[in-house]
Amino acid sequence: MIKRSFFTLTQPRLNYDLVEPDPKEPELIPVPSNLILLLNEPINSTKEALIKKGNTVEKGEKLYLYTDSTEYTISPVSGTINTIDTYSDVFGNTSTYLVIKNDQTQTNQITYDLKDNIASADEYLRTLPGAPPLKLLANDDTRIDTIVISCGDTDLLSTTNQYVASKFLDELKQGAQILKDITNVTKLCVTVPENINIQGGFDAIQVLKTSIEYPSNLPAMILKDHLDLALPPGKTPEDIGVCFISAEAAVSLGKAYKTKSAGFEKILTIIGKQGIKYRVKATIGTPIRKIFDAFNLNVSEKDRIIIGGPMKGFSTFTPHHPVQPDMDTVIIQDKKTIPELSDNPCVNCGKCLRICPVNIPVNILVRYLEADQYEEAADKYDLESCIECGLCSYVCTARIPIFQYIRLGKHELFKLRADA
């Protein structure tokens, strides 16, 4: 829901969507004949690969590229590897994708010898629905004192995590207890949108009631509003000892420890061109085109597919993009309703300054980003303080893609420092 004031000096209010009081069960998407898995490691032609085209895999099998690989994915089906190739993201970062042909006659799944420690969880469960940050929690160089389980959705229009929290409360509490036991953190709390009534409560877990006004569910805002912590420029919550995990990830962890196996069914909010929402359950690796086909959602030339919400999401160029563990929302945007962007100069209206939740001088910052002056943007105009809420782009009179400039600026700044 979007509310705009009659008075132009008053900033618009954007509210998160709330899950229905009695939410419907998600539509189950059949497991497709081919699944696509992304592996966060580039192909190295100088190394001998452990997995090759034509190899058979089992459901639940860990797949590494090389003997010294630290990244892995897990096959959600038994079948045969049809393709191994390179995938590049919007910034040119390369990783690997695998296409697995599903053998529907094989339904057995590998089970794991899970121990009650974070190293064991990280060894088997990184790719659970919700993408629990187990690699980070298992890192000896990172000290985490507080874990925050978020039952709110971080972007507009989505209700995925609210639904999971309301429907799987017992599993959520089990997952929370497992997290506390395997990490030994001193503090564990859960965020719940203030207008959501989750029946049963959270027992002894501290509950933080978050506002329904965007961007109150973003980690930086929760740190400031509820934990009395300020996120230093260029730092992540983990750098100051706080780790955020979604409700779906906590639920998935609780289920995995109960069954000693990985789960693969991801819950998503799908939004069609007319704004109609569909709640679905799809196997990780399912091409999103299969979901569109299930609801007769057509994607025409020049339509836009957005992975994530309208404020923080990114566009994908293909309907074959697979469902990922951290994918909560997919939006199809009609070409006729896509907002026009421009290369017009800033008109100094001040809207971005008034709406920025961390008081960045956005109107000056964007000028440096347009001129590729990334280090100056960071040193003088608070580039690294940005929490990437996207509100500046939303209100920009000149239709400058400020949010995209900021993301690119941070990426280029990281590269400059790495090269140095």
What structural domains does the chain harbor? 29-102 (2.40.50), 139-259 (3.40.50.11540), 265-333 (3.10.20), 351-419 (no CATH)
Confidence tier at 128 by pLDDT (50, 70, 90): very high
Q: What is the pTM of this model?
A: 0.94
pLDDT score for 6? 40
pLDDT digits (tens, 9 = 90+) for 256-314: 999 999 999 999 999 999 999 999 999 999 999 999 999 999 999 999 999 999 999 99
Q: How far apart are CA 216 and CA 307, in angstroms?
A: 21
Q: What mean pLDDT comes out for the span 211-217?
A: 97
The mean pLDDT value of the chain amounts to 94
Q: What mean pLDDT comes out for the span 310-334?
A: 96
Q: DSSP letters of 286-347?
A: -BHHHHHHHTT----TT-EEEES-TTT-EEES-TTPBP-TT--EEEEE-TTTSPPP--PPP-
Question: Do 125 and 242 form a contact (C-beta atoms < 8 A)?
Answer: no
Percent of the chain surpassing pLDDT 90: 89
In this structure, of 8-12, 37-41, 97-101, 319-323, the range with the lowest mean pLDDT score is: 8-12
Q: How far apart are CA 279 and CA 122, in angstroms?
A: 29
pLDDT score for 366? 96
pLDDT score for 107? 87
pLDDT score for 1? 42
Closest CA to 183 of 148, 223, 131, 145: 145
